[in-house]
């Protein structure tokens, strides 16, 4: 028969766990709203920028006129992957999904004969990849404020521009958890070098009726636009990832709170049964003692 004292302790410990998880859930919910707002309001800028870039690139007939940093190098050998993880745990499968996905991608690249370098964002990724034999170029963490997110994006942008110019990398992709809804986050790749034209394709109809004049000339504009586009895309992925993180944490903490509730119910039931059994046992002892006299 379980010990009453032990059961009582167990119940109170699960109760305090439930308090913590439900508090974390509420914190995540309020942070999620802010992160989601940020991700959505930054989308306007990112969309306009990629529209401008694609109409600029689309305007140039001969793609060999475009700089390498847009079109990518032929025979690319070295891919860089930027992995957006979280700084903290307790957010369900958020990070493990991402790392599993990255692992597949990396082995795919290696099969193609490319070597892979990595930039990690968030403490979870940096501690995960430290243990592997992959080439981690740099880590960025503590992305706890919006200013910091922007600053980190800027640093990453400078880093990739420098690496590309020194021929240390030929391709760049970002991996992040895309915020689909509060319950779904999808690990997503986005190619920075070469420039992915997904969005360009969608807006072809829009560009066709407006032929833009450019000032200063295209090459000078591209020089300004390309780094700006990297920054915006990286910043956007960081924001998406942070919205996804809070959403994932909210869902998993909600589940944890519910599980704790179920557990408390079960334990309370056992506790009451055991208590009742003890009382019955004591009564029987008293009665049989009295009968014996």
| Minimum separation from the CB atom of position 57 to other proteins (A) | 12
Angle at 146 between CA 148 and CA 159, to 5 degrees: 40
Check residue 142 and give left, alpha or beta (phi > 0: left; psi -120 to 50: alpha): left
H or E segment at 172? strand 171-179
Does 55 sit near other proteins (CB under 8 A)? yes
Q: Which of 38, 80, 118, 156 binds other proteins (CB under 8 A)?
A: 38
Whether omega before 216 lies within 30 degrees of 0, making that bond cis, reads yes
Distance, in Å, from the CA atom of 142 to the CA atom of 250, rounded to the nearest integer, reads 20
Candidates 111, 201, 213, 291: give the one binding other proteins (CB under 8 A). Answer: 213
Nearer to other proteins, 56 or 106 (CB): 56
**CA 50, CA 53: separation in Å to the nearest integer?**
5
What span, in angstroms and rounded, lies between the C-alpha atoms of 202 and 215? 25
- Residue 91 falls in the annotated catalytic set: yes
CB 34, min distance to other proteins, A: 12
Q: Is 210 in the site for other proteins (CB under 8 A)?
A: yes
Q: Which residues contact 26 (CB under 8 A, 6 or more apart)?
A: none
Q: Which of 63, 74, 216, 292 lies at the binding interface for other proteins (CB under 8 A)?
A: 216
CA distance 83 to 86: 10
Q: Minimal distance in Å, beta carbon 14 to other proteins?
A: 42
- C-alpha gyration radius of the chain: 28
Among 115, 146, 197, 270, contact with other proteins (rule: CB under 8 A)? 146
The C-alpha atoms of residue 49 and residue 54 are separated, in whole angstroms, by: 9
Assigned token pair, 208:
């066709």
Number of Cβ within 10 Å of residue 283's Cβ equals 10
* Nearest distance, CB of residue 164 and other proteins, angstroms: 22
Q: Give the binding-site size for other proteins (rule: CB under 8 A).
A: 29
Which one is catalytic: 24, 91, 169, 239? 91
> Binding other proteins by CB under 8 A: which of 74, 111, 201, 215?
215
- The piece of 45-53, 60-68, 81-89, 241-249 that touches other proteins (CB under 8 A) is 45-53
172 touches 164 (CB < 8 A): yes
- Could you say which residues in the range 58-117 bind other proteins, by CB under 8 A? none
Binding mask 223-262 for other proteins (x = CB under 8 A): -xx--x--xx--x---------------------------
Catalytic residues: 91
Residues of this chain that interact with other proteins (CB under 8 A) are 38, 41-42, 44-46, 48-49, 51-52, 55-56, 146, 150, 210-216, 220-221, 224-225, 228, 231-232, 235
């Amino acid at each position: 028969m379980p010990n009453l004292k032990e059961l009582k302790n167990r119940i109170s410990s699960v109760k305090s766990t439930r308090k913590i998880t439900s508090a974390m859930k509420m914190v995540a919910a309020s942070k999620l709203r802010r992160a989601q707002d940020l991700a959505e309001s930054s989308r306007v800028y990112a969309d306009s920028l990629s529209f401008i870039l694609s109409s600029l690139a689309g305007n140039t007939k001969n793609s060999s006129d475009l700089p390498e940093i847009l079109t990518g190098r032929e025979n690319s050998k070295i891919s860089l992957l930027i992995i957006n993880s979280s700084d903290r745990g307790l957010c369900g499968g958020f990070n493990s999904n991402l790392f599993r996905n990255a692992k597949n991608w990396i082995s795919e690249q290696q099969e193609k004969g490319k070597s892979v370098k990595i930039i990690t964002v968030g403490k979870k990724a940096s501690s995960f990849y430290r243990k592997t034999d992959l080439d981690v170029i740099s880590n960025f963490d503590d992305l706890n404020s919006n200013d910091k997110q922007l600053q980190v994006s800027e640093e990453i942008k400078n880093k990739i521009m420098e690496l590309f110019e020194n021929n240390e990398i030929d391709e760049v992709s970002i991996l992040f958890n895309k915020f689909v809804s509060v319950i779904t986050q999808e690990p997503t790749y986005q190619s920075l070098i070469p420039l992915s034209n997904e969005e360009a394709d969608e807006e072809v109809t829009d560009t066709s009726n407006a032929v833009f004049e450019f000032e200063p000339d295209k090459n000078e504009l591209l020089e300004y636009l390309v780094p700006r586009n990297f920054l915006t895309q990286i910043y956007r992925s960081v924001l998406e990832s942070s919205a996804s993180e809070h959403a994932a944490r909210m869902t998993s903490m909600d589940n944890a709170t519910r599980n704790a509730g179920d557990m408390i119910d079960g334990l309370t039931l056992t506790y009451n049964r055991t208590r009742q059994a003890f009382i019955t046992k004591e009564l029987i002892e008293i009665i049989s003692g009295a009968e014996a006299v």
